[in-house]
Structures are given as C-alpha cells and as structure tokens.
Structure 1
Amino acid sequence: MPVSRRLALVFPGFEPLPVEAHCSRFIREAKRTASAYGMTLSLSDPVYSGAGLRTGTIAVDASGEGWRTQTEAVVYGLGDLNAVYAERNPAVRILTGLGALADFIGTGTFFRFVWTSWRYSLFFLYPLVTLFGVVAIAAAVGSFLPVSTILRWLVGILVAVGLLWFASKRMHFLLMMDDWAFARDMARERRPDVKERIAAVAADIETRLSAPDPGEVVLAAHSFGAITVMLAIADLLSRGCDMRGAGLLTVGSSLLKVALHPAAVRLRAAVGIIATSPITWVDCQSLTDPMNFYGSRPLHTLGIRKGREARIIRVRFRTQLRPKTYRAIKYDFFRVHRQFVYGVEKRSPYAFHAILCGPEPFAAFAEEGALSENWPPASGVGKAG
C-alpha cells in the first residue's frame, strides 16, 4: 500500500556548507530524480529554523498514477561544526590532519580498515601519498636548478605551495585533512560542542516524533551524518522513546571510520542499542565509492553479537546515470561519494529521493533490497516544479 504521509529527517555528511546549501541540493536533485521516476513533484521553499540547531524544512508533494505521497523533509544543518576546521590556517590543517592519520595508524585502526575494506585503506593513504608526492616533486625541481642553495630552497618551497594549492582545489587535499582531524576528535570525544549539538538533534527528533500522525518516519544519513544520527537515536532509545516502525537509512556511511577506533566506545554502544531496537536499518554501499566501507557488515565488523545486522544494499551508480555523466564523475571520488544523495537519470534499484519522496514503504524497500520496478508507471514522465 502506498505511503500517504512521511517524515524524512536528513543528515548530511562532512561538508562545511550551511543548511541553505544542503536544502538547495535536496530540491535540485529531487527534481532530477522525479523525471527519471515519472513523478509529478512539487516542493515548497525551505522554512529555516532560528538560532541554535539549524534546520530547513521542505514540504514535498509527489504523485503518480494511483498514488500521492506528502513528505515533510527536514534537513539538519551541521556545517558550522565542520567549518571550524576549514577556517583554520592551511599549515594547521595539514599538521592536525597528519596528527590524526598518525593516531589512526598508532592505534591500529588503519589495519582494521585494511581487514574490513581494503579499498578504504587506499583512501586513508591518499593524503599521505599526495603530500609525499608534493614534497618529492618540489625537492626534485629545486635540486636540479643551476642556482644557489638558498634559491633552490625558495623555488622548492614555492613549488610545494603551488602543488598544495592545486591539490586542495582539485583533489580536496585540505578537506581530507580536516575530515581525518574531525574523525579523530569524534572518536576521542574532544568536541563538547558536537556532543551538545547531537543532544539538540535528539531533542528535535523527539519533538517531531511526538507530533500527531507524522506518518512513516525515515532518518536518512550520508557519510559522517550516520554518526550524528546514530548517536542521537541511541540517546532517544536509551530514554525510552518509542521508535517502532521508524526506518534508518545510511548511505556511503562513515560509521566504521570512527567506530573502529578503540576510543570510540560510546559510538559502538550506540550501534548496539540500535541493533537491538525495532528500527529497520538499511545500509547502502557502493564499490565505485572509495570513501565507504564496501562489503562490510557493521555489527559483524564491530564484534556486536546481539541484535539484527543492517540490511546491506549494493548500489551501482553506473546503472542510474547516463554513460556521459558517469564518465564525467567517476574519477572525482568526492563527487562519486556524493552521488548517494544526488539525483538519478535512470530508474534504478536505489535512488535517494525516490526512497524519501516516493510511495514505496521503507520496510518494503528494506525487505526487497531495491525499489520496486512497478511504481510509478514508466510511461508519462511527470513535471518537477
């Protein structure tokens, strides 16, 4: 039976973007998906919350032949917590990133990455290889110049700065350094402001769940957003909040990035609480994305023996994009990582906005491991407005 009402709570990943930018992305990509799925789609302008916890609420009205689904999509703004890292001096960003990488190696977490998903371990090594390459090229250029030693050093430094600028702009080098610094701080709980924000998120979720007839409830998280939402959900469950029938959708999850660190005791406990709850958890992974733990099983990997394992769904981006689009993005790993929350150009078993805005019950998607091919009718492409 089609879903008539839904409350979709959306948690973005590690990007120093305001909630307004995330809402604009959600609206743009939902329209893109609507064309592929034959949905007639109407989206309101976002309504933003005031100070404190920033949210953007979008009223989505989707319809097709024989169905209509109204979704209240609430996008949580956590970008200011990430911006703390991006606003620092580049040298500080590099040094703290290196310190975080050393922490993950020294604690053995890196080797757990290798054991769990060898492709993810390559992503871990990427900033180190990039930095080594910059130093090697700068040293080579400086050493071969027929000038004085001082000039060689100056040229080498200028080359290194130029290469680091290029790596940051085109290869997301500084963003990756911030990402690892944030992961270390999350594992070791060094950010009391993050703890306070997660408590505020939990309180906001509880308020929305207590509203009369919220309909189907789906909490959807991308990348680092999975950590935020899981800590918030565990807090609610431990206080007796009734979340029966709710769905948890994690896509391109960074959960294991932090949870595999030995200091992340609280996060592992949160996973265990969710696993023994009535919440339906679906974890979507893609081989194309080097920034997620493809092939992993969260509970098994973390040694949690009680509860239900997440329903693992493999996503193939190639099947949801036109060949030209896929070729254009496949070597930009950050863009590939974001494809989990971007729109699709072809109907496929997975589409973020079809799951959150369409008529199919989340429980049915979880059970089948794919969106149904029977809704809406493939003919009659709807209008996105």
Structure 2
Amino acid sequence: MRSALSFTPPDLQEARLDTVRRRFVFYVPGYDPEARTRYRLLFVREWARYAKRFGGGGRAISRADLSEDGLVQSWTVTAPEQGEGAETRYDVLLWDDIVAADFARSRFLSVALLVAGTLHAILLGLLFRFYRLNWKYGNVILYPFVMVILLTALSAVIAVVVHAHLGNAFGHSLGLPLWVSLPLGVAAGLVWIKAIEAFLNRVFFWQLLNDWVFNWQHGQGWRPDYERRLDAFAGHILSRLAARSAAGETADEVMIVGHSSGGLTAVEVAARVLARDAEIGTSGASLSLATLGSGLPLVAMQPAAVRLRSEIARLVTERRLVWCDFHAPQDWMNFPGFNPLHDLDLGLGGAPVANPLIRSARFRDLLCPETYRRVRFRPFRMHFQFLLANERPGAYDFFAMTLGPQRLREQVLAPAACPEREPALPL
C-alpha cells in the first residue's frame, strides 16, 4: 500500500460554485450477477438510514422502471422539501447478464481459465505488482487459485481412498476390478466438490474466481460481449441527455459513478461518451466521473490493455470532466494510493494533467468503533461501505455526492459536512 493516499492534479477544471438543482446519475455496478435486484434495494435501505441519522428533507423515491432492452433500471429522487439538494435521476447501467453467463459456463472451463490467467499474471510479474499496490488485494486475487490447488489435492485423496477400498489394492473383500473401482474413485473425488457447492458460494470462491477470469480476459481483449455493452452504455447516456434536453429538463451535473469492477466500466464509458460528443462538458451541465473502490489496475496494468491505457490517458488530460477516484485502506478489494500518472505508462508527453482527484474515503472515521470492529475482517462488507450510509459525518459521503447541492469537484475539495449530531447506533 502506498503512503500518498491523496492527489490533486495541477490543471484541475475550474470551480463552479452555483448550486446543483438537477443531477443525472449513471451508476455502474461491479461484477455482480444479481445487480438488477440488489442495487435498488440497497439504495432505498441506505437512504432511509442516512435520512434518519442526518435528516433527509422529506425526499421521495419513485418506483423503478426497467428499459425495454433490460439494460437500464431507473428511478428519481425528488429535491428535499427543506434545505438544499438536487432532484436526481438515477440510472443503473446493467451488465449482470454478462456476469451470469460467466457463472453458467462449465466449472471445468472456469477453473482452467483461472489457472491460465493466474500463471500468466505470475510469469509477467503482474501479481507481484498487485501485491506491492495492496497486499490484501493480492491475497484476494490468489485466493481462488490456492483453493483450486487444495480442492484438487483433496479430490485426489478421496479418489485414491475410494478406489483402494473398492478394489484389490489393500486386499479388501469387495475386490472390484480396476475398470470399476478407478472410475468410481474419480467420480467420488468430483462429487464431493458438488456437495460443498453451498459452502464454496458462502466463501465467495466462484465469485472471486470468475471476477479475476473476467478481468484477465478483458485485459487480453477477449471480451467482445463486454465491449459491445460499453458502447451501448455510452449510447444510452447520450440519448438520455438529448431526450431530457429536448423536454426542457436539463441537468446541472451529469455524473457517471462506478463501484468495484464498475469503476473500470465507468472509466471506459466516460471515455466513449467524450469521444462521441465533442460538446459535452464544455457548457451547460458539468460532467463528473466518480470511481469508488475501483480495481482499475487489474486490467490497466496488463501489457495487452493498450486501448484502456489510451482511454485513461485521455481522461487524465481531459478538462471537460472532473474524475475523482475514491479508495480506502480498510477495503481489501481496491488499490489505495494507486495513481495512473505514476503507476501506468500513459505516454502523456508533458501534456497538462487535469485528472484524477484521488482521495481516501477513511472508513475508520465514518463508522462507529463497534461497527468497525465487527466488519473490519469482512472483505465484501467493507468493500460495499462506499455505497452505504455513513454512521458519522465525513468528507466521503455517497448520498451527499449523488443527491447534494455541490458538484463532485467541490464536494471533494470543500465538502459540506453532514450536520453534526451524535452518531446513531447501527441499524
């Protein structure tokens, strides 16, 4: 983990201090096969907790609508009845069908891809670079590979024991011929893996295995299905903005937000939006990009990910948007201190650096001590803290960022802290 957890680019876009009254948020979930059922419920639940702790001004959340193509789930949060805050249109950009397809493929194929991807990362020295950035995430990446070795060894032991007891190896009475006992032994060695499927899901084995395989494949340029979805997302954002503008419902801020693997997706979508529309971000609505607990280095550091590094280089020098990358040292599954300017070869050639603003979310300060002690060794719970309601006021505030009156740049550089009050007990 790096010591420099914050960075402010020297050529950051100038401040816009006028109040945000309407905001369009395009949220990209991470690598999650249940995104269309998870994030609406999560938002509503956590907003209720946030409003109870800090006051919500009587906002209402509309019902969720799913687009005809099934790629976008949308709802609206009204402006507060009292106090300042923006009316927010919230669109969740869904790619959980792609993730679900990965989960549905042959387990043998998934394991083979994991082994190939992990060995490839080790041979290239990538895994060691990941460990230098964050040893916790290095362990998370290596975890499914180690599990595969252990499960294979245990399966082999079970197969040998079953074969020995069914055949003549130790003179047992069953004395089945080799052509019977050996296949039965192999079958027993495989069946027990299926029997512990629920346990493997509880310890996130398949989730982390498929996640790493996806990132490796994407870095190698082997995910055309995902590339097509990126284009569809960029098209949706531009068409949504055009339709709202035609209806006289222009926004003060357009914000693209990505969490976890969705942070990578948000970067790629933002680059496509800027490439397609030469006017966006130059007048009218400001364009903001927020990446939360991103795993961007998993793909960007792969030698074959030339296109992605080119897109990052464009965003780093682009003054039409403000990009803020939030990380947290307490989160196992992000890279605190990662800075694309220092850790990637972007070939900027001395071009002015306008992005990204890098900040720590400082989870330890946002949570009550008893909550922090309870969740500090639960990687997924800590990883999702980026999307959860604070228990204490802090500079990082997901709901102030997406529903508040300040633009992202001002929220980061001069945050308007939540009203001071005694932190409530965790709900």
Normalising by the smaller structure, the TM-score range is 0.7 to 0.9
Q: Against the structure 1 CA distance between its residues 185 and 12, is the aligned structure 2 distance closer, same or farther, given a 3 Å change threshold?
A: same
Aligned to 2:311: 270
Q: Match for residue 253 of structure 1?
A: 294
| Distance in 1 separating the partners of 2:288 and 2:193 | 48
162 and 204 in structure 1: CA distance in 2 versus 1, 3 angstrom threshold: same
Q: Partner of 1:372 in structure 2?
A: 416
Instruction: Quote the offset at 1:351 in angstroms.
Output: 2.4
Residue equivalent to 2:221: 189
Q: Confirm or deny: 8 A CA contact 2:393 2:419 kept in the other structure.
A: no
Kindly provide the amino acid, as one letter, of the partner of residue 344 in structure 2. Answer: L
Taking the aligned partners of 1:98 and 1:337, their CA distance within structure 2 comes to 25
TM-score, normalisation: structure 2: 0.79
Which residue of structure 1 lines up, in the alignment, with residue 384 of structure 2? 338
> Contact 2:84–2:404 (CA<8 Å) still a contact in 1?
no
**Amino acid across the alignment from 2:22:** R
2-structure distance, mates of 1:347, 1:180: 34
> Could you give the per-residue CA deviations for residues 297-352 of structure 1, whole angstroms, max 9, x where no partner exists?
12221123443341111123233234444344333312221221223333222122
1:155, 1:234 → 2: CA distance?
A: 50
Aligned positions of 1:72-151 closer than 5 A: 72-136=89-153, 147=165
Indicate whether 1:48 and 2:66 are aligned: yes
Q: In structure 2, what is the equivalent of residue 208 of structure 1?
A: 240
SS in 2 for 1:102: helix
Q: Find the aligned partners of 2:373 and 2:185 in 1 and give their Cα distance.
A: 40
Aligned to 1:14: 31
TM-score between the two structures when normalised by the length of structure 1: 0.87
* Alignment partner, residue 264 of structure 2: 227
Contact 2:263 2:295 in 1 (8 A): yes
- CA offsets, 1:226-246, max 9 Å, x none? 222222221232232422421
Tell me the SS of whatever aligns to 1:281.
strand
Q: Which runs of 5+ in 2 are unaligned?
A: 1-17, 170-180
Secondary structure of the corresponding residue to residue 42 of structure 1: coil
Indicate if the aligned counterparts of 1:283 and 1:313 stay in contact, CA closer than 8 A: yes
Count of residues in Structure 1 that have an aligned counterpart in Structure 2: 376
After superposition, the Cα gap between the structure-2 partners of 1:241 and 1:223, relative to the gap in structure 1 and judged at 3 Å, is farther
Quote the residue 1:303 is aligned against. Answer: 345
RMSD (Å) for aligned C-alpha atoms: 2.8
For the residues of structure 1 that align with 2:141 and 2:65, how far apart are their CA atoms? 38
Any idea what SS the aligned residue of 2:26 has? strand
Match of 2:280 among 229, 242, 250: 242
**Map of 2:326 onto structure 1:** 284
13-22 vs 191-200, greater mean Cα deviation: 13-22
Superposed displacement of residue 160, structure 1: 4.9
- Spell out, residue by residue over 1:233-263, the C-alpha distance to the aligned partner (whole angstroms, 9 max, x if none): 2123223242242111000101111010111
C-alpha separation in 2, matches of 1:377 and 1:288 = 24
State the one-letter code of the partner of 1:131: V
Write the deviation string for residues 179-207 of structure 1: whole angstroms up to 9, x where unpaired: 11111221122222222111111111112
Q: Tell me the distance in 1 between the aligned counterparts of 2:156 and 2:223.
A: 37
In structure 2, relative to structure 1, the CA distance for the partners of 1:167 and 1:267 (3 Å cut) is farther
Give the alignment partner of residue 318 of structure 1, picking from 364, 376, 398.
364
Overall identity of the aligned pairs, in %: 29
Does the 8 A contact of 2:288 with 2:323 survive in 1?
Answer: yes
Q: Which amino acid aligns with 1:201?
A: F
Cα distance, 1:29–1:292 mapped onto 2, change above 3 Å: same
Q: What is the rounded CA distance, in whole Å, between the counterparts of 2:394 and 2:98 in structure 1?
A: 34
Letter in 1 for 2:123: G
Q: Distance in 2 between matches of 1:152 and 1:87?
A: 27
Q: Structure 2: how far apart are the matches of 1:170 and 1:20?
A: 19
> Which SS does the other structure have where 1:73 is aligned?
strand
Q: How far does the alpha carbon of each residue in 1:131-175 deviate from its partner, in whole angstroms, 9 at most, with x for none?
A: 333345556678889956668767655555555x25522211111
CA contact (8 A) 1:90 1:174 kept: no
User: Does the 8 Å contact 1:284/1:314 carry over to 2?
Assistant: yes
SS at match of 1:59: strand
Residue 18 of structure 1 and its aligned partner are, at CA, apart by 4.4
Change beyond 3 A, Cα 1:300–1:140: same
| Larger RCO (alpha carbons 8 Å, 6+ apart) | 1
Q: Tell me which amino acid in the other structure corresponds to 1:22.
A: Y
2: distance between equivalents of 1:203 and 1:140?
Answer: 53
Q: Is the 8 A contact 1:252 1:291 kept in 2?
A: yes
Aligned mates of 1:88, 1:153 — CA distance in 2: 22
Deviation of the 1:208 alpha carbon:
2.9
Aligned partners of 1:326 and 1:142: how far apart in 2? 44
Q: 1:324 to 1:155 in 2, by over 3 A?
A: farther
Aligned residue type for 1:231:
E
Q: Does the 8 Å contact 1:116/1:301 carry over to 2?
A: no
Is the CA contact (8 Å cut-off) linking 2:144 and 2:208 kept in structure 1?
yes
Deviation at 1:49, TM superposition (A): 0.8
Note if contact 1:280-1:366 (Cα within 8 Å) is conserved in structure 2: no
Separation in structure 1 between the aligned mates of residue 23 and residue 419 of structure 2, nearest angstrom: 17
